[in-house]
Every structure is written in C-alpha cells, then in structure tokens.
Amino acid sequence: MAAALRTNANLDQYWPDKRRVTIVGAIWNLILAVGKIAAGIVGQSQALIVDGIHSLSDMVSDAVVLVAARWSAIEADHNHPYGHGRIETVATAIVGVLLLAVAIGFIVDAVLRLLEPERLMRPSWLALWAAAVSVGIKEILFWYTRRVAQHARSNLIMANAWHHRSDALSSVVVIAGVVGAMGGLLWLDAIAAILVAGTVAVMGGRFAFNSLVELVDTAVPPRRQKELAGIIMAVDGVHDFRNLRTRMMGGQVVMDVCVLLDPQLSLAEADRLAAEVRRGLLDGSTEVSDAVVSVAPAWSGMRRRRSA
C-alpha cells in the first residue's frame, strides 16, 4: 500500500508572479534594445549596437520563460502524473545555452577587435549615457527577478534573472570601451569583454548542466538523502526503510520510499504511519513536493536504525 501522491499544486500559485516579472522584463528589454541600437548608430558605438542586439536576445529568452513557466504550473493529468515541472527544466537549459552562446559571441568579437584595433570606433557621450542607463535598469530587473525566483523556488526565473545581469555586465563592457576609446586605450573594452563574457559563460554553462542532470533523473546529493532519512526515522513506529529513490522535478524533489513496520500492526495503523512519514517529508523539507510512501513488514527482531 502507499500514501497518496501529492502533486506539486503549489506551483500554480506562483504563476501570476512569474508572468508579471517576465512581462515587465520583456517590455524593458524592448525599450532598451531600441534605445541602445539607436544610440549606438547616432553615437558611433559598435559595442552599443551589439549590446542592443543582446537585449533583443533577452526578449527571446523572456518569451521562452513565459511559455515554459505557464506550462510548468499546470496540474498533473493522466499523461503527466508527476506534473509538468520538467518543461521548466528544459526551458532553463535553453536559457543557459542562450547565455553561453551570447558569452561566446562576446569573446569572439573581443578577440577580433584585439587583432584588428582599427575596427574600433570613437564613440560619443550619447553612447556612454545610454550604456549607463542600461546598467541601472538591468540591475533593478535582476534583483526584482531574483527575488521572485527565490520566493517561487524557480530555477527558470532565476536563470532569467541572471540573463538580466548578463545584459547589465555587457553594458559595463560598453562603458569601459567608450571610456577607453575616449582616453586612447582602445584595447581596454576588449579585455573587459573577455573577462565579463567568461563569467557569463560559466553562469550559462551551470544552468544548462544542472538542467541536463535533472533531466536524466539524477538522485539528490548524499547529504540531502541523509536529511530525508532522518525525517523518515524520526517517525515513531518506523523500524527501517529501503528503496529510497529521489529525483528532481522543476527544481524540487520527487521521491518514494518503502518503510519497514512491525508486522503485527493492523492495516489501518500501517496506513496511518505511512501517511505520517509522508507528511513529515512534505512539511520537514521545503524542497520535497511529491512523496510516495509504501510499507512492508520488518524482519523479526530487527533493531531500529539510528537517524542520520
């Protein structure tokens, strides 16, 4: 027998927050993209034009996030008994790849400009001010989106927050390039671009890698398994457990376990203990969203296992 499965219904309550923060980000990305491209053309800054293109890529990311966040919040159905959280995981991987691709583009462009310094233009103050405004707006979007991601425990929204940060960092590169060009240090923006792009590449690679690890049903780390074992063994009446299996689903833990109980217990009492274990797992860990607890008789004379 098994305690009933609890679907991750609480994800749906965060959908309005996810939608709002993503739409706000998309609107500002459109404004910044148009503004930076126009300012880059008028202010003679190739770096600012490229930065505007980067903001357009953020709009694509926002569209992916908006669709994925909505689908991942849909309740479980007969085709998806564990819910739709993996849609968010796939989208997080896509955002990570976008971050990685943008970072590689920055690195290649910076290297080419180092090899051909004559490609650098001498920008005006308009480009400097446009880049500075972009940094301020994108930093505000980063912290706003990051707060929503932490509240909703959403890796997808967190990835999008770091996408905002990558755009802010690219604008910092533009500022460095503009200041360096004005001061005669034409190589300064290229060096800064390589350093910042390297950081963005690490972020994107981490998001993509963690999503792929989740997609292949990798178990949670041993330390977290020990914490779950401690919650199970804390229930009075549980002698031991076996077949503890865990996996990640949309950034949260889905698990099942078989607890070993006194074989003399009635069916009703065994079911009560299974429900108590399940309730302890759901209430004792903010990361556990689904838990299936089955029961089996303990061997005669088995000693109670000590909790981790």
Closest CA to 11 of 62, 87, 79: 87
Sequence-distant (6+) residues with CB within 8 A of 123 are 43, 44, 45, 47, 48, 177, 178, 181, 182
- The predicted pLDDT at position 254 comes to 86
User: Which residues does the chain have with pLDDT short of 70?
Assistant: 1-13, 46, 60, 65, 67-78, 80-85, 120-121, 189, 192, 250-251, 286, 300-308
25-76 pLDDT, tens per residue?
889 988 998 998 898 888 877 678 777 777 777 776 777 767 666 665 666 6
Look at the alpha carbons of 212, 216, 217, 222 in this order and tell me if their dihedral is positive or negative: negative
Contact of 172 with 183, CB cutoff 8 Å: no
Is the Cβ–Cβ distance between 281 and 245 less than 8 Å?
no
Q: What is the CA radius of gyration of the chain?
A: 25
* Domains contained in the chain, CATH given: 9-215 (1.20.1510.10), 222-297 (3.30.70.1350)
What is the reported pLDDT for 109?
A: 83
Q: Which residues of 177-196 are buried (b: 16+ CB within 10 A; e: fewer)?
A: bbebbeeeebebbbbbbbeb
What digits encode the pLDDT tens for the residues 159-190? 788 878 878 887 887 888 778 877 877 777 67
At 2 the pLDDT is 41
Angle at 97 between CA 91 and CA 99, to 5 degrees: 105
Q: Please state at what angle helix 15-42 crosses helix 125-152, rounded to 10 degrees.
A: 170
- How does the average pLDDT of the chain come out, rounded? 80
Beta-bridge partner residues of 288? 253
| pLDDT value at residue 233 | 92
